[in-house]
Chain A
Amino acid sequence: MNAFQFLPIRRLPVVAAVTGLMALAACASAPPAPTVSLQAAQQAILTAEQADAGHYASGELGEARAELTSANAAVSETHMLVAERLANESRTEAQLAFARTTYIKAQAVNDEMMRSNGALNQELQRTSGDKQ
């Protein structure tokens, strides 16, 4: 009987634990914003912008920005899965903008070198022609 008397006090921690579990379950049903993916997309866009992708790959960069905007919109509507995918698409699109910018710039360097080579060739041939 003594034990029966103490029953309500003994059960208090169990109630608290159940309540905590319920709270956690509530959190799980409304998943957190894909912060890492969003930040990664933001960083990739910044990197592309710094490489002057706005000039060399404006289509891809614009697409990446639009996707990031959509991702943020999805977050505010708590469509976290959609937000995460959009953020990943944005990041990848920004990476593509950066990769294409890098390629175009590398090719421009090559074109300049070849043009310079051609000019050098002409110059050298002319000067050696003059000397003969």
Chain B
Amino acid sequence: MNHVTHSAGLVKNLIATAVATLLLAACATAPVKPDGAAEARNKLTRLQADPNLATRAPQAIETADAAVRLAEQPEADKDLAAYRVYMADRQVEIARADAQTRYAEDQRVLISAQRDQARLDARTREADAAKGQVAIARAEGAQQKLAADQARADADQAKQATADSNQQVAELKLQVEALQAKPTDRGLVLTLGDALFSSGRADLQPGAGGHLQKLVAFLNKYPDRTVVVEGYTDSVGSEDYNQGLSERRAGAVRTYLIEQGISSIRLSALGKGASSPVAGNETAAGRQQNRRVEVVISDPVAASR
């Protein structure tokens, strides 16, 4: 009897153990995560995988992670499970927004740097432009200097020309003086005395060449000047005779000049007879002065007027 009772107790124990084991097994095979917990975990994983956001809100992400882990725990109380999932989802969203805010704030440094860079670039461009303008100005300056040098050279040349012309005038003056010509309103007048000719004759005396040679040299030096050779006599003798003599003597001088190489185009000769005396015919000295040949050298400036 006692044995049977013992045996029945053993069976009872076995049944109890089996039931307990079954219950445990049931619990083990149904560790079901609450609905929505997986979605919250996915959101959190995406946030943690985002290189721009993962490190930017560590506190909020930690809080979200804790909330998601809590939501993932199996919970028989459906309301509690839903509450935990809701809280986890919102914590993940908050963590994302916080990280995004921090990321935006960090971006500002970059944007400011870009702004500074843009300003710097602009200043560099301005500096380059200014440098370019300086170069242009320098080139212009060089050009102006060149122009100034040119102007100076021109001025020098003009001065030289003036000097030259002054020199020429001076030289002409010298030549005229050497020629013993007198400047008059008709031009330079060279008076050749009657020493050139024998009395009553029109051919030049052998010694006349030396005096006339100065005239030839002068005319060679100033080829733009023309010459009028005028013959004069004293009042002794007939008018016709004196006219003829004066013409012949003027002609003799002209011929001599042509023989010396002066172009005939530049030379004209005319006789003036006893007209235009330069002294009285009453005395021998006066008559000698009146017997003369005047060589009138045209002034090219006066001629062109």
Could you list which residues of chain A lie within 8 angstroms of chain B, going by C-beta atoms?
Answer: 82, 85, 88-89, 92-93, 95-96, 99-100, 102-103, 106-107, 109-110, 113-114, 116-117, 120-121, 124-125, 127-128, 131-132
Contact = CB atoms under 8 A, between A and B. Distances in A.
14 contacts: A85-B79, A85-B83, A89-B83, A99-B98, A100-B93, A102-B97, A103-B100, A107-B100, A109-B104, A110-B111, A131-B126, A131-B130, A132-B125, A132-B132
Contacts of B240: none
Contacts of B130: 131
Contact of B90 (A82, A93, A121, A127): A93
Contact of A100 (B97, B107, B114, B125): B97
Contacts of A96: 90, 93-94, 97
B217 interface: no
A100 B118 CA distance: 32
Given A85-B83, A103-B100, A109-B108, A128 B126 contact: yes
Contacts of A85: 79, 83
Nearest to B105: A106
B61 to A, nearest CB: 13
Contacts of B86: 89
Contacts of A109: 104, 108
Given A96-B90, A120-B119, A128 B101 contact: no
Contacts of A100: 93, 97
B224 to A, nearest CB: 59
Given A103-B101, A110-B104, A124 B119 contact: yes
B171 interface: no
B121 interface: yes
Contacts of B122: 124-125, 127-128
Contacts of A116: 115
B43 to A, nearest CB: 13
B237 to A, nearest CB: 97
B118 A117 contact: yes
B6 to A, nearest CB: 45
A124 B121 contact: yes
Contact of B91 (A92, A113, A127, A132): A92
B85 to A, nearest CB: 11
Which 4 residue pairs spanning A and B have beta carbons closest together?
A124-B122, A99-B97, A106-B104, A128-B125
B79 to A, nearest CB: 8
Nearest to B127: A128
Contact of A89 (B87, B104, B129): B87
Contact of A121 (B104, B107, B118): B118
Contacts of A106: 100-101, 104-105
Contact of B97 (A103, A110, A117): A103
B112 interface: yes
Given A114-B111, A120-B118, A99 B101 contact: yes
Given A127-B122, A128-B122, A132-B129, A120 B115 contact: yes
